[in-house]
Amino acid sequence: MQSNAALEYDYTVAKLFTFTTILFGILGMIIGTLIAAQLAFPDLNYLLGEYGTFSRLRPLHTNIVIFGFTLSGVFATFYYVAQRVLKVSMAESKFIMFIAKFHFWLYFVGALIAVVTLLLGYSQAKEYAQFEWPIDIVIVIVWVLWGVAMFGLIGIRREKALYISMWYYIACFLGIAMLYLFNNMSVPTYFASGGLGNIMHSVSMYSGTNDALVQWWYGHNAVAFGFTVPIVAMIYYFLPKESGQAIYSYKLSLLSFWGLMFVYLWAGSHHLLWSTVPDWMQTMGSVFSIVLILPSWGSAINMLLTMKGEWNQLTENPLIKFMVLASTFYMLSTLEGPIQAIKSVNAIAHFTDWIPGHVHDGVLGWVVFMIMAALFHMAPRMFKREIYSKKMLEAQFWLQTVAVVLYFTSMWIAGITQGMMWRAVDEYGNLMYSFIDTVTVLHPYYAIRALSGVLYLIGFLMFAYNMYKTMTSSRELSEEPQFRSPMA
């Protein structure tokens, strides 16, 4: 094994996942912008026959953003961060390097096949779990490969203590493994019926209310362990490294970790308020959702207080801007979610556009901002070149910030308007508005959402171009930057 002083980290796999993060980000956001426009301008549904309708493209958008862009970002940052905090190079183990490369290629090929099957209409019709059973098997193998690489690196580490970021990556691995296996237990009908029907088709092993409960235990916690836990892992590493500041409180990071692990798993039933799910279970979901504010804000406040006394870096370093605003959007989103889980509020919010408004201020403001900042921090160290354009980075930040604010404010107003109109009755108890009345009233807000999608997409294309130029043609660095990332 190499000596610690001469340790050269191997970024081969981190680079590969960086490329797929950018690729799937562009693809997912183009589709997202198109389907937002389709809601405002329905004629756009007929551009590509059945393959261009909202119902066919919407699962494609959510799955590409979740399992394409976000997971690629998680894997890219993991293969970068793990080597550094464990003080071990991937190159030191041929076995781990083989597993990691196999992990990437199976993931990439599997993801492309998954995209095609969704486009062709193969779906289990379960939110965030649309993939049919053959794709599920590939996903499980991909996940096991990541686990082998993860615990392999931990097994040969030189650094005895596991830094908090590794705790969160491990939680991401274990949490999604458990959730995905249980929710996707299904029976392929072709084999169960003696060769009748389509070989791709399957039915869930659960039925009725039980199916709904397992689905939203999975759905809510897929957000927990996919959109929250690994992103917290990133910011606990990249914010201190970029700013040169130590984490404000390591004890608070551990307290928030265990709080998040325990509380999040019980909150999923808040998706099923006012349904056939037992009342005590609905109440439990609401209560745990409220309690969830504590560990969530514990992490976010810890991140913000890390910048205590160094707020001037906000004006000087766009990457700090991205990370601090990401933490702020995390606080906003993790306050908004519990508010929507209060039964009386949920009676108005359920099924309205306030729900995607909540999801997207979390995803666009917290998840995407943090992944982009992480990749920008990694780029000079992986490619040994400075970031191509600071001006473009600043412009991208403001463009995407405006886009996120436009998105969630338009959806807040649209959602609350919807909820109130659906509940409005006259003195005889008759509904005052038809469904089409609400659609007509909400048209301007749908148009604003489509515009915000266009702005955000432009910002992401600026990010992709800046990364491409950073990798290929910006000024070469003679030595690795210690803290602040150099940029032209």
Three-state DSSP string of the chain:
CCCHHHCCCCCHHHHHHHHHHHHHHHHHHHHHHHHHHHHHCHHHHHCCHHHHCHHHHHHHHHHHHHHHHHHHHHHHHHHHHHHHHHCCCHHHCHHHHHHHHHHHHHHHHHHHHHHHHHHCCCCCCCCCCCCCHHHHHHHHHHHHHHHHHHHHHHHCCCCCCCCHHHHHHHHHHHHHHHHHHHHCCEEEHHHHCCCCCCCCCEEECCCHHHHHHHHHHHHHHHHHHHHHHHHHHHHHHHHHHHHCCCCCCHHHHHHHHHHHHHHHCCCHHHHHCCCCCCHHHHHHHHHHHHHCHHHHHHHHHHHHHCCCCCCCHHHHCHHHHHHHHHHHHHHHHHHHHHHHCCHHHHHHHCCCCHHHHHHHHHHHHHHHHHHHHHHHHHHHHHHCECECCHHHHHHHHHHHHHHHHHHHHHHHHHHHHHHHHHHCECCCCCECCCHHHHHHHHHHHHHHHHHHHHHHHHHHHHHHHHHHHHHHCCCECCCCCCCCCCEC
What mean pLDDT do residues 426-444 have? Answer: 94
- pLDDT at 102 exceeding the cut of 70: yes
Average pLDDT of the residues in 425-442: 94
pLDDT at 251 over 90: yes
Model pLDDT, residue 197: 85
Taking the CA atoms of residue 66, residue 68, residue 70 and residue 76 in that order, the dihedral angle to the nearest 10 degrees is 160
pLDDT band for 2, please (50, 70, 90 cuts): very low
Mean pLDDT of 415-434: 95
Cα 400 from Cα 96, distance rounded (Å): 38
Question: Once rounded to an integer, what is the mean pLDDT over residues 79-83?
Answer: 98
The residues near 219 (Cβ < 8 Å, ≥ 6 apart) are 127, 128, 129, 268, 271
Averaged pLDDT, 338-343: 95
- pLDDT-derived band at 7, boundaries 50, 70, 90: confident
Segment 296-322 mean pLDDT: 95
Q: What is the pLDDT of residues 455-476, one digit of tens each?
A: 999 999 999 999 999 999 999 9
Residue 376, pLDDT above cutoff 70: yes
pLDDT at 4 over 50: no
Residue 195: which pLDDT band, with cuts at 50, 70 and 90?
A: confident
CA distance 177 to 171: 10
Of 233, 230, 126, 228, the residue nearest 180 (C-alpha): 126
pLDDT of residue 90 exceeding 80, the answer is yes
pLDDT cut 70: percent of the chain above it: 99
Are 336 and 412 in contact by the 8 Å Cβ rule? The answer is no
What is the spatial distance between Cα 315 and Cα 307, in angstroms, rounded to a whole number? 13
Task: Quote the pLDDT of residue 6.
Answer: 59
Mean pLDDT value of segment 292-311? 95
Reading the block at residue 447, the tokens are: 């148009």
The reported pLDDT for the residue numbered 456 is: 98
Q: Are 73 and 371 in contact (CB under 8 A)?
A: yes
pLDDT digits (tens, 9 = 90+) for 134-157: 999 999 999 999 999 999 999 999
pLDDT for residue 43: 94
pLDDT in the model for residue 193: 87
pTM score, whole prediction: 0.95
Predicted confidence (pLDDT) per residue in 322-337, tens digit: 999 999 999 999 999 9
Give the pLDDT confidence score for residue 329 in this predicted structure: 96
Is a pLDDT exceeding 90 seen at residue 196?
Answer: no
